Amino acid sequence: MLTVASLSLLLLLFTSSTACTTIGVSYTSAGAAASSPEHIAAVLRSHRISAVRLQAPEPSVIRAFTYSNISLLLEVPNHLVSSFASNVSAANLWLYTHVVPFYPRVKISAISVGSNTVSTSQADLSDVLIPAMQNLKRSLNSLGISDISVSTTFSFIDIMNNAFPPSSAEFQEPINRMLIRPLLQFLEENNSSFFVNLYPYKVYRLNSEIPVGFALFRDHPYNFRDDITTGVRYRNLFDMMVDAVIAAMTVSGHENIPLVVTETGWPSYNSGNEPEASHHYSEMYFQGLITHLKSGLGTPLRKEGVAEAYLYELFDNDDNNDTMQVTASGSGMQNWGIMYPNLTMKYNIPFSSDSKRFHGQGIAGMAALLLVISALL
C-alpha cells in the first residue's frame, strides 16, 4: 500500500527541477535613442528577462532598474583599469558614481573590470588587471558590500589553445602563466566566476569543416562531434566551446569555478560576403541556445552548465567594436541586435516559456509514474 508520505516523497523526487542557466541580454544605450532607460527596463521585465549586462553603465541607465528585480552585470571600461590598479581611490570614485547611489535598490550582481583586455587590438593590460580587481574588491569590502562579485571578461578566441577536442584544451601561453592562473586563484578566493565571450558563429567562420547545423543547435543525425579521448559525443558547438574553457580551467587547477558566458549571439546582417549572417540563422541560433539552456542538461563536463549567459545584444549598434562587429575574416559590419529600436522583438525567442524539466524521461516518464501510482492506490 502506497502511503501519502511515500507518495509525496516520490512526486517530490521526480518533479524536482534542475538548476537552469540565467539568461540575460547585453544592453547599451546606443540604438535606442527614442526610448528612455525606464521604458526599456519595463519592456525587459515584460519579457521576463532576469539579467542585463551593461557594457556602458551610465548612472541614468542603472537607476532605471531600481526595484526591477533584474540583476545587473556592470563593466568598468578598459581605460580606467590602469588607474584602478595604481590608486584605490579611483576604484572608490567609480563605485560612488555607479554603485553606492543605487545599491541595493538596484540588484547589482557582478562587476567586470575591463573586457577583452588581452586582445591584440586592445592595449595590453595584463600587468595591471589583477591589481585593479584587487583594489575594486577592497573598495567593495570597505563599503560593506560582499555580494557583488568581481571578475574580468575574455574572448574565447583570444585565450584558447588547442580547443578541440575539449579534452585537449588549454589556455594560451604566456597569457595563462602571466594572467589567467593568478586570476583563477583570485576568483576562487573571492567566490567569483570566469567571464568569457563565446561565439560559435566566429569559430564556425574560422573552421570550414564545421557544419552550420552543428553551430545552430540543429537536431540532425550527422550534427555531432566526438571527443575520442573522453568518448563524449557533442551535439552542438556551444557545448564544445564551453567544455573547452572548463577543461582549460581544470588543467590550470581550478575546475570548480562557475562559468559565465558574457556574450553570445549570431549576426542577422553583414555588409560583406557572409551569407550565414542572416535573420533566419540568427533566429535559429537564439531559439536553439535558449531551449538548450532552459533544458537544464548542462554540458558533458559540467552537468549544471554555465551559470549565466548574456545574448549579444539588445539593439543593433553602429559602434566599430572589433570584438563584436567585425567578422572573423576582418571585413564587414554586422547587426547583432535581438530587438528593433521600437522595442519589438526581431525573433520568436522563448524567454518566458516554462523552464522546468522533469528528471528521468520528462513528461513521458511522469505519465508512466502516474499510471504506477494509480495502480497502487
Q: Give a yes or no: residue 264 inside a domain.
A: yes
Strands 160-161 and 170-171: antiparallel
H or E stretch at 166? none
Grid cell for residue 156: 574565447
Q: Give a yes or no: residue 88 inside a domain.
A: yes
Per-residue pLDDT of the chain (377 residues; tens, 9 = 90+): 443 333 332 332 233 344 589 999 999 865 555 689 999 999 999 999 999 999 989 999 999 999 999 999 999 999 999 999 999 999 999 999 999 999 999 999 999 999 998 865 555 677 899 999 999 999 999 999 999 999 999 999 999 988 899 999 999 999 999 999 999 999 999 999 999 999 999 999 998 889 999 999 998 877 888 899 989 999 999 999 999 999 999 999 999 999 999 999 999 988 777 889 999 999 999 999 999 999 999 999 999 999 999 999 999 875 444 344 444 444 568 899 999 988 999 999 877 654 443 333 333 333 433 343 344 44
pTM of the prediction? 0.86
Which residues sit opposite 196 in a β-bridge?
Answer: 154, 261
Q: Give a yes or no: residue 166 inside a domain.
A: yes
- 68: domain CATH number is 3.20.20.80
Q: Give a yes or no: residue 369 inside a domain.
A: no
Q: Give a yes or no: residue 239 inside a domain.
A: yes
Q: Give a yes or no: residue 13 inside a domain.
A: no
What's the domain range around 312? 23-320+330-352
> CA 245, 247, 251, 255: dihedral to nearest 10 degrees?
90
Q: Give a yes or no: residue 95 inside a domain.
A: yes
Contact (Cβ atoms closer than 8 angstroms) between residue 257 and residue 251: no
Q: Give a yes or no: residue 37 inside a domain.
A: yes
| Number of structural domains found in the chain | 1
The runs of H, that is alpha helices, within the chain are 4-15, 37-46, 59-63, 81-86, 88-98, 129-142, 156-159, 175, 181-189, 200-206, 212-215, 237-251, 279-295, 362-376
